[in-house]
């Protein structure tokens, strides 16, 4: 790892100021950034550690939404009765990320800023129609993800929290790569008064995406059989040593049906 300067400011404003240095980067749980730096795939000159910034961690219920701070660890989301009662799929998802040690450090904000095409949280954010709140603005999920490891976040923009609307039913099903534990295919299904949303991670060659044919079929009849006929094209699927595009396309259907069956 190349050397860098380290700052641990106590407020969002001070963190943004520290990010003004060239090649500065936010450090949250470090579970993606530090491995990347160790491999010298990233070499920021300044790390701005958010660990002391007040008010960035925590889970609360605000009206018909669950609001989770950007620095909230995966383990805390997984262990939260509030999350499990309100959005069952979201609590389950957090408990499936990586392993216990990764969950003790990794954060919601870090996962969303990174937008790995095989990460889990992006599926929940997109399927639940969550709103990402930053130091500058509020971004709806449909506008936030911009392809592989790309989002609309600016260089000096910090995610502070995410607002997840509470659905009637939800579930997340993940077909894990047994070695890395990332999603080969992960499907989040959310049914609410306004309709059904289905988001797929791990499979799409430009990252997380909504499967609108499934959404329409499920809005008419919320049952696994309703999406049996939906054909998933292999054209936009990831093909790698873990599985080719045809295999992933097939898995999307299987995993989506399991998610519908598991919805509660």
Ligand X SMILES: Cc1cc2nc3c(=O)[nH]c(=O)nc-3n(C[C@H](O)[C@H](O)[C@H](O)COP(=O)(O)OP(=O)(O)OC[C@H]3O[C@@H](n4cnc5c(N)ncnc54)[C@H](O)[C@@H]3O)c2cc1C
Give the range of 20-28, 192-200, 211-219, 234-242 binding ligand X by CB under 6 A: 20-28
Instruction: Pick from 10, 11, 20, 38 the residue near other proteins by CB under 8 A.
Output: 38
Q: Which token pair is 261?
A: 């069956």
Query: Under the criterion CB under 8 A, does residue 10 sit at the interface with other proteins?
Result: no
Closest CB 198 distance from ligand X, rounded Å: 18
Strand pairing of 5-7 and 46-49? parallel
Token code pair at residue 136: 């500058």
3-state secondary structure of 231: coil
Question: Does the footprint of other proteins cover residue 138 (CB under 8 A)?
Answer: no
Give yes or no for residue 237 binding ligand X (CB under 6 A).
no
Residue 240 touches other proteins, criterion: CB under 8 A: no
CB atoms within 10 A of CB 264: 10
Assess 8 for contact with ligand X (CB under 6 A): no
Segment 220 to 239, residues that bind other proteins, using CB under 8 A: none
Q: From the list other proteins, ligand X, none, which binds 26 (C-beta under 5 to 8 Å, kind-based)?
A: ligand X
Residue 207 interacts with ligand X (CB under 6 A)?
no
Token representation of residue 19: 């990010």
**Is there binding between residue 25 and ligand X (CB under 6 A)?**
yes
Torsion of CA 196, 202, 205, 208, to 10 degrees: 40
CA 184 to chain centre: 14
Instruction: Identify the residue among 102, 224, 234, 262 touching other proteins (CB under 8 A).
Output: 102
Q: Using the rule CB under 6 A, is 70 a contact of ligand X? A: yes
> Do 117 and 77 touch, CB atoms closer than 8 A?
no
CB 88 within 8 Å of CB 80: no
Question: Could you give the C-alpha distances from 170 to 42, 93, 120, 198, 212, in angstroms and in order?
Answer: 36, 11, 14, 10, 16
**84 is an interface residue for other proteins by CB under 8 A:** no
Q: Determine which residue in the list 89, 110, 117, 243 makes contact with ligand X, applying CB under 6 A.
A: 110
Residues that bind other proteins (CB under 8 A): 1-6, 8, 27, 30-31, 34-35, 37-39, 47, 49, 51, 75, 98-102, 104-105, 180-181
């Amino acid at each position: 790892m190349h050397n860098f300067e380290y700052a641990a400011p106590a407020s969002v404003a001070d963190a943004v100021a520290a990010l003004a240095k060239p090649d500065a980067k936010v450090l949250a749980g470090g579970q993606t950034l530090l491995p990347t730096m160790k491999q010298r795939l990233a070499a920021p000159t300044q790390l701005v550690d958010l660990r002391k910034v007040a008010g960035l961690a925590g889970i609360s219920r605000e009206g018909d939404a669950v609001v989770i701070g950007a620095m909230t660890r995966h383990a805390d989301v997984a262990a939260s009765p509030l999350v499990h009662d309100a959005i069952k799929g979201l609590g389950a998802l957090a408990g499936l990320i990586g392993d216990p040690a990764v969950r003790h450090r990794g954060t919601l904000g870090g996962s969303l800023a990174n937008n790995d095409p095989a990460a889990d949280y992006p599926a929940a954010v997109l399927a639940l129609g969550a709103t990402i709140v930053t130091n500058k603005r509020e971004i709806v999920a449909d506008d936030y993800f911009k392809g592989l490891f790309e989002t609309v976040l600016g260089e000096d923009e910090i995610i502070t929290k995410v607002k997840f609307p509470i659905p009637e039913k939800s579930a997340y099903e993940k077909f894990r790569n047994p070695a890395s534990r990332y999603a080969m295919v992960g499907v989040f299904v959310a049914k609410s008064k306004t309709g059904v949303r289905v988001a797929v991670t791990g499979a799409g060659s430009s990252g997380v995406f909504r499967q609108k044919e499934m959404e329409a079929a499920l809005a008419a009849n919320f049952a696994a059989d309703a999406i049996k006929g939906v054909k998933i094209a292999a054209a936009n699927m990831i093909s790698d040593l873990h599985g080719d595009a045809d295999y992933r396309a097939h898995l999307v259907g299987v995993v989506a049906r399991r998610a519908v069956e598991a919805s509660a």
